[in-house]
Structure 1
Amino acid sequence: MRNAIDLLSIATGRIGVPELYRLVISAPTSLDQLRSEEWKAKSYCYQCLAAADRAYKNPVQRSDFEIVADYFCVEFPNLSEKTRSVVVSTCTSMVDVLNRGILRQHFCSDTNLTPEATEQGKIILIDFPVKQFGEVGVFAQVLWKYAFQRTIERRNVVENPRPVFLWADEAQNFITSYDMQFQTTCRSSRVATVLLTQNVSNVYAALGGSEKGRVEAASLFANLNTKILHANSDPVTNEWAASIVGRTLQQFANGNTSSSNDDSSAAAFGIDWLGHTKNTSAGFSESFEWDLQPSEFLKLRTGGPANDWLVDAVVVRNGKAFAATGRNWLVTSFEQARRQKRRKR
């Protein structure tokens, strides 16, 4: 695939998925075919080799073209049929999803929009609903997200300091392992990331559900400096939420009361209350406990008319305490937009 990409780049100055596909399937399968005039007339691979040979090339491109030409004119035709079919099958399967349907229409044709548009203050909405487009919709949105991330990290923030944002609702559908790497450095590129999901278990599952996935999720969460936590019934999420709020040294009161009577004869006649003694003890203990218990997240209001349109949240942020509490977390409420009832005509 790397040789095909380099050949297309040198020959045409651009890289397209349909062209990659045509190049790979038309590559020579033998040295005899390589010398065939009929093959040369029909093969897109040969057309690219000829165009690249004629094209102006800088020193790096000249060196790359020598490697590419050796691969397609010597190495590839001499591969065994089985090995060559595996190479072709691997390459074509990699580009297949982009070579048909709506993905080909939107990603492999002429474009009037690139991720750089965000540097001009434009907001790009990727309208491929997962419920409508399924895996294709997920692929399209992840592809755009990744292109945006790579593009924005390359920009010169001195020449173009405009802050930009990446917003993902139902974020568990679009999270990839690259997000951890991106989130560690995106602040220097002046990028704010907002990820919305119902619970952390969704993210663990999206990243494979293994220990590696949990570590990647923990890395991602750690680099999101402000967390807004709403009502949740997932125990894993609530314990995680309590853990990021943290523990504090708390005092607990304890007490004990006991009574005794040493006069057995008085007890026999039912007058043991005359010699009754009571012992009482009290004390305090200290322990580091959750500052906010996991069960508290079950009690947060969820909005709607039953809650007077108020949604409770616990806001946690790094590095700066809230003036109202003196702590880095705060219980607050957001007011929902009230839905007006339609009047009957």
Structure 2
Amino acid sequence: MVPTAMLGLTLVVMLLFFFSRHRRRRSSSRSSPLDAVLFRWPTGDPFTIRDLLNGGVAILGRVGSGKTSSSGKLLGTQIVRNAKSGGLILVAKPEDLAMWKAIFHAAGRDRELWIFSPRERLRFNLLNFIMNEDGQTRSITDCIRIIGECLGSHEAKGSSSQDPFWEQQQDRMLYYAVEIVKLATGSVSAPALQAFINGAAQTPEDLENAQWKHGPHCQLLRAAHEAASTELQKHDCAQAVDYWLGEYPRMADRTRSSVLAGVMGLLAVFNTGLVKELLSGESNVSPNDMFEGKWIIVDMSPSVWGSSGKLVCSAWKYATQWSVLRRTAAAEDVFNVIWVDEAQQLVSSYDAHYIAQCRSHLGCLVYLSQSLPGYYANFGGEAREHRAQALLANFTHTILHAVDPVTAEWAAKKLGQRRETMFGGSSGPGGDVFDDLFGQPRLTGSFSEQYTPVLQENVLINGLRTGGIANDLACDAIVIRSGEPFSNGENWLRCTFLQE
């Protein structure tokens, strides 16, 4: 009986072992490329491509905290090492280009890093790209408007820009200009839009002027009317013609001048020498190249190139986001990363829309910035704090180096509070003369339960190493992960990154 029982038990164990191995083999054969591990956290938890795409990564740290050269460099290195990666890199400092070149060289992908700058051969006609990919006047108008948000300065906005009325009127002017230029010429460019708007009749009397009738504005209106062939085109063209021949010349002078100032301010930046050369000529590169595994690094940091650099970076960021959301991607396709250092300079209302939807299109954002107040300042408006927090709330992983008190408070609130038991006690005089004489006071104990922050704010303000020789190139950071906790049971952990 015993040998028979042992034989049966051995057979059961062998069958369990066989089926277990079979399940593992089937599971591994079905594993997705998105489950590839980029690196592991100190707890041993893997950070996979799927984790990256599921909300992206926000890295925050004050100037000199080491965010770019430590955690940023590690994350960027591991992403580039994956051959299925492609994307856009917007650098914050001129010296960052050398860092990225070294990363791509180490990964053996030198030829897949394309540099976009005035010193290189690559050019990208932004508005023609949007038109050729989509053809909708609204898409082109939205592109110009959102880039205007990113500029966030007097070049893109009039003095009354915070009033929705003026923003709506500027949007209408752009829309109807794009509609006419697109129908009449078959293409759209900033110089063409500027010339068309400049030639518009300013008063009803101008409409009867023979010189105006033979001018470029009137000729384009006529050409657009003749080119409209479908019912939809005829309807949209009629709306635009009514605006330029009816509404616009009859606007109050102050209203027209305010609307015109905002629109022309933005188009003027588009038509500045370098920007015009880079974004309005013949294209030999586009966001579609990223879907083939190419990386485009825009070497025009706003700190060096000013508003021109800001516009070029904003143009590439929006065009990439727009293209990612339009594509249908499978797990085996190239995943797209938009990497923005000093991201607070280039935020727009489109970012929250993008990060909420990009995962299913194999896209994500990696944003590096100094502080939460930096986002507040660049969003502007009465709702700037809500807009900034709404954007950052979508990032699943947040890496915090040494930060300011406002950012520390925000980060601590992300983790909430937990209930803890607090113990206490007190001593009082003894019960009689004998107790007082021999030092035996009366002791009382107590305890209470209260909610305290899971992470104290001072942890993020003081005590985190910031790299350099004095710290053996070590940079400390707190990593917060929304949703699923790490294997230690917490949604945060302390990490050390090296500036190697």
Q: TM-score range by the shorter chain?
A: 0.7 to 0.9
In terms of mean alpha carbon deviation, does 283-292 or 271-280 score higher?
271-280
Deviations 1:234-284 (Å, cap 9, x if unpaired)?
Answer: 112222222223322222221212225766xxxxxxx99548651012233
Residues 152 and 189 in structure 1, CA contact (< 8 A), matched pair in contact too: yes
Deviations 1:57-93 (Å, cap 9, x if unpaired)?
Answer: 2221122223333444455556677766666555433
Q: Structure 1 length normalisation: TM-score? A: 0.82
Partner of residue 230, structure 1:
401
Residues 25 and 88 in structure 1, CA contact (< 8 A), matched pair in contact too: no
Of the candidates 439, 444, 467, which is equivalent to residue 281 of structure 1?
Answer: 444
Residues 11 and 55 in structure 1, CA contact (< 8 A), matched pair in contact too: yes
Q: CA RMSD in A?
A: 2.9
Residue 57, structure 1, aligned to residue 229, structure 2:
yes
Question: Offset at 1:293?
Answer: 1.5
Residue 304, structure 1, aligned to residue 475, structure 2:
no
Residues 207 and 213 in structure 1, CA contact (< 8 A), matched pair in contact too: yes
Residues 261 and 276 in structure 1, CA contact (< 8 A), matched pair in contact too: no
Residues 259 and 276 in structure 1, CA contact (< 8 A), matched pair in contact too: no
Question: Offset at 1:52?
Answer: 2.5
Partner of residue 389, structure 2:
218
Residue 290, structure 1, aligned to residue 453, structure 2:
yes
Aligned partner letter, 1:17:
A
Question: Offset at 1:40?
Answer: 4.5
Aligned counterparts of 1:222 and 1:257: Cα–Cα separation in 2 = 48
Aligned counterparts of 1:88 and 1:294: Cα–Cα separation in 2 = 48
Q: CA, structure 1 residues 3+258, in 2 after alignment: closer, same or farther (shift >3 Å)?
A: same
Aligned counterparts of 2:377 and 2:211: Cα–Cα separation in 1 = 53
Q: CA, structure 1 residues 167+59, in 2 after alignment: closer, same or farther (shift >3 Å)?
A: same
Aligned partner letter, 1:227:
T
Aligned partner letter, 1:229:
L
Residues 245 and 291 in structure 1, CA contact (< 8 A), matched pair in contact too: yes
Aligned partner letter, 1:334:
F
Aligned counterparts of 2:240 and 2:437: Cα–Cα separation in 1 = 107
Q: Over alpha carbons, which structure has the higher Rg?
A: 1
Aligned with 1:292: secondary structure? coil
In terms of mean alpha carbon deviation, does 50-59 or 301-310 score higher?
50-59
In terms of mean alpha carbon deviation, does 28-37 or 98-107 score higher?
28-37
Residues 352 and 391 in structure 2, CA contact (< 8 A), matched pair in contact too: yes
Aligned partner letter, 1:214:
E
Q: Structure 2 length normalisation: TM-score? A: 0.59
Question: Offset at 1:128?
Answer: 1.5
Aligned counterparts of 2:371 and 2:411: Cα–Cα separation in 1 = 10
Q: Counterparts of 1:47-196 in structure 2 under 5 Å?
A: 47-55=219-227, 57-76=229-248, 88-89=260-261, 91-157=263-329, 161-196=333-368
Partner of residue 3, structure 1:
176
Q: CA, structure 1 residues 256+152, in 2 after alignment: closer, same or farther (shift >3 Å)?
A: same
Partner of residue 246, structure 1:
416
Aligned partner letter, 1:223:
N
Aligned with 1:326: secondary structure? coil
Q: CA, structure 1 residues 67+246, in 2 after alignment: closer, same or farther (shift >3 Å)?
A: closer
Question: Offset at 1:146?
Answer: 2.0
Aligned counterparts of 1:30 and 1:134: Cα–Cα separation in 2 = 37
Residues 396 and 481 in structure 2, CA contact (< 8 A), matched pair in contact too: yes
Deviations 1:213-234 (Å, cap 9, x if unpaired)?
Answer: 11112211210001111123x1
Aligned counterparts of 2:435 and 2:327: Cα–Cα separation in 1 = 90
Residues 429 and 436 in structure 2, CA contact (< 8 A), matched pair in contact too: no
Q: CA, structure 1 residues 17+328, in 2 after alignment: closer, same or farther (shift >3 Å)?
A: same
In terms of mean alpha carbon deviation, does 76-85 or 184-193 score higher?
76-85
Aligned counterparts of 2:202 and 2:236: Cα–Cα separation in 1 = 22
Task: Show structure 1 runs of 5+ residues with no match.
Answer: 264-270, 338-345
Question: Offset at 1:38?
Answer: 4.6
Partner of residue 341, structure 1:
none
Aligned partner letter, 1:222:
A
Aligned with 1:157: secondary structure? coil
Name which structure has the greater RCO, CA cutoff 8 Å, separation 6+.
Answer: 2
Partner of residue 335, structure 1:
498
Aligned partner letter, 1:20:
L
**Number of residue pairs matched by the alignment:** 326
Question: Offset at 1:114?
Answer: 2.2
Residues 10 and 52 in structure 1, CA contact (< 8 A), matched pair in contact too: yes
Aligned counterparts of 2:218 and 2:208: Cα–Cα separation in 1 = 11
Deviations 1:112-151 (Å, cap 9, x if unpaired)?
Answer: 2222322222212122222212233223322322222222
Aligned partner letter, 2:197:
V
